[in-house]
Amino acid sequence: MRRGAWRGSLRIRLLAGTMFWIVASVVVAGWGLGGLFRQHLAEQFQAELKTHLDQLTAHLTIDEQGWPALSVPLSDPRLERPYSGLYWQIDDLASGGAAGTPGPRRSRSRSLWDHVLAAPVDAPADGEVHRHRLDGPAGTRLEVIERRVKVDERPETAAREFRLIVAADERLMIDPATRFDSALWLALGLLAGGLVIAALVQVRVGLAPLRELRAALGHLRSGRTPRLEGDFPAEIAPLVDDFNSVLAHNAEVVERARTQAGNLAHALKTPLAILGNAAAGRDDELARLVATQVDAARRQVHYHLARAQAAAAGRLAGARTALGPVLEGLLRAMRRIHAGRDLELVLHPISPDLVFRGEEQDLQEMLGNLLDNACKWTAGRVEIEARLESGGLTIAIDDDGQGIAAGQRDAVLRRGVRADQQVPGSGLGLSIVGDLAQVYGGGLRLADSPLGGLRALLSLPAADGTTRDLPGT
């Protein structure tokens, strides 16, 4: 499933790579910058301790009682505030008896209050700086540096040795690092968020032409456009052009097939007419045979031509035909062809919104056959009505003739379904209409007409958007 999504989505492909790099670079940057800052802080911290130690060394004196003291108080106010985190202590090593152990003579910064720094006993060389970590007051951890200093105050006495200690709470170093870290990660988080949003936007904008392509294909399928329309970027445009030329080629093939079927029919029909006419003038066995065979051949040609038409129907994507003009054209023809019969052909107003999703020729063939049938059987009045019904077109053609008995309607429509078993004949028109309508996903039903005769109900797919964005409506 996950793998499927990975393979199946350009968006995930593009985003996954980008996300990986964003996360990796943010983590590395945060880790690296944090490390650098900590190192810098540590160095600064040590340097500060050293500075204090140097000051301590420089101001070291021995007071009248022989206690170590400072000639000038050190400047940092933290040394005066109890448990401020910055401390100093001077041990008089010689006074303790054994060399190297601190004796009772010691001075401490005020900040140490009642705490004594218990520095481990070691013996750094004179002037050398040692570092330690000790427990400080109130459970703190201290960073400690020490130095031994020998003071020859008076030449007659032995040199005295002092241990100078400066200590600082390590929180003084850690706290800024922690604050820096949180600020750093917040900034990097914002950066990463911004980059992710930018990547999402980029992918969306970058893939927008694909969505347009899909919309264009949708329009094509629904018959709103005959080809893929729209401006596509250079990467997709060749694909779209190829697709359009395939469509054009398809249309050409369908048109050619239709033309050839028509040509074949034309080529056969003239000789058939000649044969039929030649036989009609005589009354013998041969003439009768020719007459019946010509009639059979005529029906076969008619039947198969109509089948070819149905087979080619619906193959063209994007075809759309407005219903109104086709019906008006057919009614003009009907009025002329049936001019001698004084028929009343009533076309109820057809909304220009009614558009058939298919080809004009097929629509003409279906409606032409139905209208002609109605005109043939009517006693005088034919009514045509069309409307949009549950997403499709429904066209009702009523006549006031004798109609077809309910039991026979199916047979009339089925005729011609199986070409090899059925002899095509009269009524073929209706079955061809049914077949054509089915090819388009519609259908033909026969019912009783309120006018008294037959009602033919033709349902056909409506072109998408027929109720909106029609130019000029």
Partner 1 sequence: MRLLVVEDDAILRRQVVAGLRAAGYVVDAAADGVDAHHLGDSSPYDAVVLDLGLPQIDGLTVLRKWRAAARDMPVLILTARDGWHEKVAGIDAGADDYLSKPFHMEELLARLRALIRRAGGHASAELACGPLTLDTRQGRVAIDGRVLTLTSHEYRVLAYLMHHRDEVVSRSDLVEHIYAQDFDRDSNTVEVFIARLRKKLPPGLIETVRGLGYRLSAPR
Q: Which residues contact partner 1 by CB under 8 A? A: 262, 265-270, 272-278, 280, 294, 298, 302, 309, 329-330, 332-333, 336-337, 339-340, 342, 360-361, 364-365, 367-369, 372
- SS3 at position 119: coil
**What backbone phi and psi angles, to 5 degrees, belong to 118?**
-100, 80
Q: Do 68 and 107 contact (CB within 8 A), yes or no?
A: yes
Q: Do 345 and 334 contact (CB within 8 A), yes or no?
A: yes
Q: 472 in the Ramachandran plot: left (φ > 0), alpha (ψ -120 to 50) or beta? A: left
Nearer to partner 1, 47 or 274 (CB): 274
CA distance linking residue 236 with residue 328, whole number of Å: 43
Nearer to partner 1, 127 or 271 (CB): 271
Nearer to partner 1, 109 or 309 (CB): 309
Nearer to partner 1, 36 or 280 (CB): 280
- Minimal distance, residue 335 CB to partner 1, in Å: 9
- Minimal distance, residue 321 CB to partner 1, in Å: 11
Q: Do 19 and 199 contact (CB within 8 A), yes or no?
A: yes
Q: Do strands 355-356 and 381-389 pair parallel, antiparallel, or not at all (unpaired)? A: unpaired
- Minimal distance, residue 460 CB to partner 1, in Å: 15
Output the six-digit token pair for 95. Answer: 């006074």
- Minimal distance, residue 308 CB to partner 1, in Å: 11
CA distance linking residue 94 with residue 162, whole number of Å: 8
Quick one: which of 156, 151, 134 has its CA closest to 143?
A: 134
Nearer to partner 1, 301 or 470 (CB): 301
- Minimal distance, residue 277 CB to partner 1, in Å: 4
Nearer to partner 1, 213 or 265 (CB): 265
- Minimal distance, residue 332 CB to partner 1, in Å: 6
Q: Do strands 443-448 and 454-461 pair parallel, antiparallel, or not at all (unpaired)? A: antiparallel
Q: Do 379 and 430 contact (CB within 8 A), yes or no?
A: no
